[in-house]
Amino acid sequence: MTEILAAACIAILVVMAIALARAFKAPTVYDRILGVNMFGTKTVLFIAASGYLMGRPDFLDIAIVYALINFIGMVAVLRFFEYTSPIE
């Protein structure tokens, strides 16, 4: 079981690298925000899976707090871009 979970953690790291590439090379700001949000979501998943793999259930609490911070941050960034208009 631990080999499967370790392989899943490696796969999550690969997906996190793809999300970072999307965040850096995206054509629009909303695509960049989507990439950063995807990276944050995969980080939460990685923290939870690695905590289970190491036998540390307190990592799940850290993952939940990180998920809440990620959600609040994304809402704040999207509201900022919604209510500010570009200077013409």
Q: Residue 82: pLDDT band by 50, 70, 90 thresholds?
A: confident
Can you spell out the DSSP letters for 53-79? HTT-THHHHHHHHHHHHHHHHHHHHHH
pLDDT tens per residue across span 13-72: 999 999 999 999 989 888 888 999 999 999 999 999 999 999 999 999 999 999 999 999
Domain ranges of the chain: 2-83
In angstroms, the CA 16 to CA 26 distance is: 15
Q: Would you state the pLDDT for residue 46?
A: 95
Q: Would you state the pLDDT for residue 87?
A: 55
Q: In 10 A of CB 42, how many CB atoms?
A: 20
Does pLDDT of 85 surpass 70? no
CATH architecture assignment, domain 2-83: Orthogonal Bundle (1.10)
- Read off the pTM: 0.83
